[in-house]
Every structure is written in C-alpha cells, then in structure tokens.
Amino acid sequence: MLTFGTGNKAVAMAVRDAKPVVVAAYPITPQTEIVEELANFVTAGSMAARYIPVESEHSSMAACIGAAATGVRTFTATSSHGLVYMCEMLHMSAGARLPIVMANANRALGPGWNIGAEHSDSISMRDTGWLQVYVSTVQEAYDATLMAFRIAEHTDVLLPVMINLDGFLLTHITQTFETVEPGDFLPPTATPHAIDIKNPGGYGTLTPGNTHFTFRRDMERGMRASIAVIEETEADFARRFGREYHLYEEYRCEDADVVIIAMGTLGKEMEVAVDILRDEGIAAGAIRMRWFRPFIVPDLDGKEVVVIDRDYSFGYGGVLAGELQAKSGCKPFSVIAGLGGQEVTYDDIVEFVRIRKPGTEHWFGVVD
Amino acid sequence: MYEIRLHSRGGQGGVTAAKLIAYAAFLDGKYATATPLYGAERRGAPVVSFIRIDDEPIRIYSQIRNPDLVIVLDESIMQVVDVLHGIKPDGTVLINSQIGTEVEGHSTYPVDLTGIALSLDLVISGSPILNTPLIGAIAKMGLISRESAKTVISETFRDERNVEAALRAYEELEI
C-alpha cells in the first residue's frame, strides 16, 4: 500500500508487518514516535505483540534477550544515550546468538547536549557482534527493517541486527513509501537453541579460556555468513516486492575518477553533488555504504576516494575512512561533517571533492 | 522542484501544516517531503519547516536555502527573523495578516488566516488554528489540488469547520 509518513512511522509499520511476539522499548528523542506508534498498534489490536514498557534501555534489551531466548521474534528501538546505556546487553544478546532486531535513531552523545544526527552512537557499538545497516530514505527504513528480521533469524547468522536512521533528518522527514504484505518472505522463527522446558540445558554458563574462544569464533562465522544471507534476502525482496538493494549502492561509479563515500542521508544527498560535479566535467561517483557490520569493501582500485564520516574516533580519525583505508589500501580524503546535526548540503559535498587532498583529514566548518 | 519555507511560532501548527501540504501534494501524485527544523522548541518561539514538491524522487535532506515560496504564519516574526533570506528573485510570499502586510520586491499574498479561524471559533488552548485555512490558501495558489486539500483536512481533523476554514481562505485569497 502506498502511503506517506516519517522514517519513524515506516519503521513502526515494518515491525507491525513482521508480527513480532514481544516489543520492549523505552522512548528517547528522536526515536519516540517508533515506540508511540507500536504502542498504538498494540492498543488498537493491529499488532498482536506483547508490549513491555520498561524503566530503561538496559532493561528493554534485557527483556528482548529473555523473550528471544524462548525463540520468539522481538524488537526494540533506541537512540544515542539509550543505545550506549544498553551496551552491556548488546554484547549479551549477540554473544547469546539471539536474533533481536533494533532500530537506532542516530544521534549525538552529550555533553554538550545535542539531539542532532550523528553516527558515533552506533559506531561506538561496533564490536558488540551486532550487524549494522544504515538507511537513507523512509522507504528503505521500512524495507530494511522487514529484511532485518529474516537476516538476523537465518540459522547461518543468528546475530542481532541494528537498523540505523539519521535522527530528525530521516526519523522526522515525511516521504512517500510503500508497505507490503511480507507473507512467507518472513518465515516463522526457528531458533535452534531456543529454551525448551522439556529438554533443559545451560545458557550463559561459565566458559573458561579453553572454550570461550570457540564461541567467539562461531560469532565471526555467523557474521561472515551474513553477507550471503543479506544478498539472498535482498534479491528475494526485489523479486517479490520490486525494490532493489545491494550491500552498498553505487551511483555513476562506472567511469568515475573520484568517488564520494558516506552512510545514511548524506549518502543520498551526495548523489546530487555527483550530478553537479559531472556537469562541471569532473568524473565523480558515489558509493553509499549500507552495511557497516559486516564490513564490505567496495572495489576502489584506481579511484580517488573522499569519505564523509558523521562520527569520530578520538586518537584515530573518521571511522569509515580509517576502515576503508585499512581494508582497501586507498588513501582517502577524510571529511568529518554533520556531527550533531551540523548542516551539510550537496553544495558542501561538491566543495569537499574540489578541495580534496588524499591522505589528509578535513573538519567541515572548523577554521584552524 | 518547488521549495517552500514556512515560518511560524511554536504552538501555531506550522510543523503539522508542512506535513499536510506535502501529504496533499503526495495525493496529487507528486513526490513531496516535509521536514521540521528542530531546535530548543518552546511555545511561541520562531519555528521553521520545509516542504519540497517535485515530479522526481527527492534526494535532498538539507535545509531549503532558496525558497520559491515563503509562508509566514505570524507576521510579528518578521521583526526578529529575516523571512526573505535567500528567497529566489521571482519567489513569492504568503503572509497571514489582518492588515494586508506586503513585502517589497516580491509578489505578496496577504490573507487573514487568523480572522478566518476566529470567525469559525477554531481555537485550541487560546491559539487560532491556522493550518487548515492555510491549506485552502495553498490550494488557491495552485500548489495542491482542491480535492487533495479537502481529503487531507477531513482525514486529519474530525471537526467539519476545518474544511469550511480552508474554503473561506480559498475564496478570500486574491491571486
């Protein structure tokens, strides 16, 4: 059904359509509308889930862990301080191989107090074992949320998935989007290690040094296997519903000499910058990274690279730029832009390409 | 692409108005986006919302810098905010005004949205409802169809006086 609404609303509608059994969440700006909509669906009877209001984000993830351990589909949503508050439980959920799905409205962390878009919240959860996808339109927020359940619950993966959408820029914009009837695109959950009271077993028991690493190695197997599962899920989604997604989205890259790489809404706005640069005779292209974990490296051979990071790792640099450099050997022009919702326009992105100096870092708006 | 910047005060319904205008454009078969600009909101503070309407999918998330149309829901804002900032040379201005305020250098459409709301007793918590008559004015300007304007209002508001308010603004606005 073609409809019109915000990124938050699209996430909530996708969750409704995925028919989870348990939703446990705590509201936080700019994610609140997701939680409100889900509570409304449950109250109105359009969603059969058990909605558990909790006293904190740590508890919302704990509740999802308990529910998912019984083998049922679960969902939560958070943002910023809420995400980092549940950090311990993120490690617990991934380590327990529970396919929980969560939406995160990307937002800066304080102080200074700020509710604007920034990826530092989710990127600081990089090593928890969660898959992370970054979306750039309201439609993609809906589609990626639906697909996240199938990817997380696939028995080759069994790892939780975080859908990241830029706070306000995407959570609060109203756009056209289409909902679908997922049908058997989303098969019932079949968690192989679900708690079975007729067949008791131990969960989260002591694992000393002579076994612990085997569980960590298995997590990495799940993460690596997720790449094929993501591709297969996205291909099936395209076949059934007509909308195509890829591990990363390329725009006018075929003959490009310089490519701009970013995640989230900047990854969409930069397409306009590429069109402007092309009109000026500069062979520019753009790659929008969708998956941050697993990290999938595009072929950047022979291209100049401009990476825009809406995050920063102190003492290191822009995280996306650094990881691309480490994995591909490219020497990116690393631009730090959009922190805390800093306004970045397509004209600014054009300027980043014009002033690029490979192997250096540029903080947009900072005059040294 | 047609770009609209809407200036209002917190509590006047500007953010909702932007969504409703974009929704009407969507019903007309266009691509549209509505974006509120959030800061430290409080009742009475100047608030800005953006609306983009196009025949193609819209890829821009940043703020509108060169609007085709500026809407001013409270003309006292013009004393503290440069509402014409960046407006296109041929850009137009729609002002909610009881005294027919005009601006120099741009086609100005003054319309008494407040008067229309008050005449129908459309008031919530002491504030006249301006977004439904505004939608009537926007339809008169030809940016959205009359039919979509009516659908959007009746889907969103149960009170029939909202449709009447839009109709009055449609009739009162001189193009």
Domains in chain B, please, with CATH?
2-172 (3.40.920.10)
- Tell me the β-bridge partners of A288: A249, A262
**Residue B151: which pLDDT band, with cuts at 50, 70 and 90?**
very high
Which residues of chain B are within 8 Å of residue A30 when distances are taken between CB atoms? 38
**What phi-psi label fits residue A108: left (phi over 0), alpha (psi between -120 and 50 degrees) or beta?**
beta
CB pair distance less than 8 Å for A272 and B60: yes
Domain membership of residue A368 (yes or no) is no
* Mean pLDDT across A168-181: 97
Residue type, A161: V
């990071």: which residue's tokens?
A309
The interface residues of chain A toward chain B in range 217-236, judged by CB-CB distance below 8 A, are: none
Which residues of chain A are within 8 Å of residue B31 when distances are taken between CB atoms? 175-176
Q: What is the pLDDT of residue B44?
A: 85
Closest-CA distance of chain B to residue A99, Å: 32
User: Are residues A332 and A357 both part of a single domain?
Assistant: yes
Side by side, which strands form the sheet with A101-106? A50-53, A22-25, A74-78, A101-106, A161-166, A131-134, A291-293
Helix (H), strand (E) at residue B4 = strand B2-9
Q: Assess contact for B2 and B143: CB atoms under 8 A.
A: yes
CB pair distance less than 8 Å for A268 and B63: no
């319309």: which residue's tokens?
B111
CB pair distance less than 8 Å for B32 and A176: yes
CB pair distance less than 8 Å for A345 and B65: yes
User: Are residues A81 and A183 both part of a single domain?
Assistant: yes
pLDDT tens, residue by residue, A259-281: 999 999 999 999 999 999 999 99
User: Are residues A191 and A300 both part of a single domain?
Assistant: no
Which residues of chain A are within 8 Å of residue B22 when distances are taken between CB atoms? 4, 174
Q: Which residue of B has its CA nearest to A348?
A: B62
Mode of pairing for the β-strands spanning A284-289 and A2-6 = unpaired
* Mean pLDDT across B36-55: 87
Q: Domain span at residue A49?
A: 2-241
Q: Which of A199, A166, A115 is nearest to A8 (CA)?
A: A166
CB pair distance less than 8 Å for A4 and B22: yes
CB pair distance less than 8 Å for A344 and B62: yes
Selecting from B23, B34, B61 the residue whose C-beta is nearest the C-beta of A269 gives: B61
How many domains in chain A?
A: 2
User: Are residues A83 and A51 both part of a single domain?
Assistant: yes
Q: Which residue of A has its CA nearest to B56?
A: A176
Domain membership of residue A264 (yes or no) is yes
User: Are residues A30 and A110 both part of a single domain?
Assistant: yes
Query: Which residues have C-beta within 8 Å of that of residue B76, sequence separation ≥ 6?
Result: none
Mode of pairing for the β-strands spanning B31-37 and B46-54 = antiparallel
Domain membership of residue A128 (yes or no) is yes
Within its chain, how far is the Cα of B51 from the centroid?
A: 9
* Mean pLDDT across B40-69: 93
Q: Where are the alpha helices (DSSP H) in chain A?
A: 7-18, 32-44, 57-69, 80-85, 87-95, 120-123, 138-153, 212-241, 266-279, 319-328, 346-354
Q: Which of the listed residues A189, A221, A241 is the one where a domain comes to its end?
A: A241
CB pair distance less than 8 Å for B61 and A174: no
Closest-CA distance of chain B to residue A347, Å: 10
Selecting from A174, A175, A269 the residue whose C-beta is nearest the C-beta of B62 gives: A269
What's the mean per-residue pLDDT of chain A?
97
* Mean pLDDT across A71-80: 98
User: Are residues A283 and A158 both part of a single domain?
Assistant: no
User: Are residues A259 and A234 both part of a single domain?
Assistant: no
Q: Assess contact for A104 and A163: CB atoms under 8 A.
A: yes
- Tokens, residue B61: 């998330």
pLDDT tens, residue by residue, A209-240: 999 999 999 999 999 999 999 999 999 999 99
User: Are residues A286 and A220 both part of a single domain?
Assistant: no
Q: Is ipTM strictly over 0.85?
A: yes
**Residue B40: which pLDDT band, with cuts at 50, 70 and 90?**
low
User: Are residues A97 and A208 both part of a single domain?
Assistant: yes
């054009």: which residue's tokens?
A350
CB pair distance less than 8 Å for A345 and B62: yes
The interface residues of chain A toward chain B in range 331-350, judged by CB-CB distance below 8 A, are: 343-346
CB pairs under 8 A between A and B: 53
Q: How far apart are CA B122 and CA B129, in angstroms?
A: 6
Q: Which of A329, A282, A324 is nearest to A307 (CA)?
A: A324
User: Are residues A201 and A261 both part of a single domain?
Assistant: no
* Mean pLDDT across B152-158: 94
Within its chain, how far is the Cα of B37 from the centroid?
A: 15
CB pair distance less than 8 Å for B60 and A269: yes
* Mean pLDDT across B116-145: 95
User: Are residues A286 and A304 both part of a single domain?
Assistant: yes
* Mean pLDDT across A230-251: 98
* Mean pLDDT across A280-303: 97
Phi, then psi, of A187 in degrees rounded to 5: -70, 160
Query: Which residues have C-beta within 8 Å of that of residue A310, sequence separation ≥ 6?
Result: A106, A117, A118, A119, A120, A166, A262, A263, A264, A266, A337, A338, A339
Q: Which of the listed residues A194, A225, A241 is the one where a domain comes to its end?
A: A241
User: Are residues A237 and A252 both part of a single domain?
Assistant: no
- Tokens, residue A142: 């809906």
Q: Which residue of A has its CA nearest to B18?
A: A174
Q: Which residue of B has its CA nearest to A275?
A: B59
From the candidates A1, A3, A4, which should be mutated to test the interface with B, based on the most B CB atoms within 10 A? Answer: A4
Residue B167 pLDDT > 70, yes or no? Answer: yes
Q: What's the N-to-C CA distance of chain B in angstroms?
A: 22
Phi, then psi, of A234 in degrees rounded to 5: -65, -35
Q: What is the pLDDT of residue A54?
A: 97
From the candidates B61, B63, B65, which should be mutated to test the interface with A, based on the most A CB atoms within 10 A? Answer: B61
Domain membership of residue A111 (yes or no) is yes
CATH code assigned at A46: 3.40.50.970
Residue B114 pLDDT > 80, yes or no? Answer: yes
């800093």: which residue's tokens?
A342
CB pair distance less than 8 Å for A175 and B33: yes
Q: What is the pLDDT of residue B11?
A: 86
* Mean pLDDT across B12-38: 94
- Tokens, residue B165: 């308010």
Which residues of chain A are within 8 Å of residue B36 when distances are taken between CB atoms? 168, 172
Q: Which of A324, A352, A359, A357 is nearest to A338 (CA)?
A: A352
CB pair distance less than 8 Å for B35 and A172: yes
CATH code assigned at A343: 3.40.50.920
CB pair distance less than 8 Å for B59 and A4: no
Which 3 state secondary structure label does DSSP give B118? helix
Closest-CA distance of chain B to residue A175, Å: 5
The interface residues of chain B toward chain A in range 29-58, judged by CB-CB distance below 8 A, are: 31-36, 38, 58
From the candidates B33, B50, B59, B66, which should be mutated to test the interface with A, based on the most A CB atoms within 10 A? Answer: B59
Selecting from A30, A172, A176 the residue whose C-beta is nearest the C-beta of B26 gives: A176
Q: Which of the listed residues A241, A259, A275 is the one where a domain comes to its end?
A: A241
Q: Which residue of A has its CA nearest to B30?
A: A176
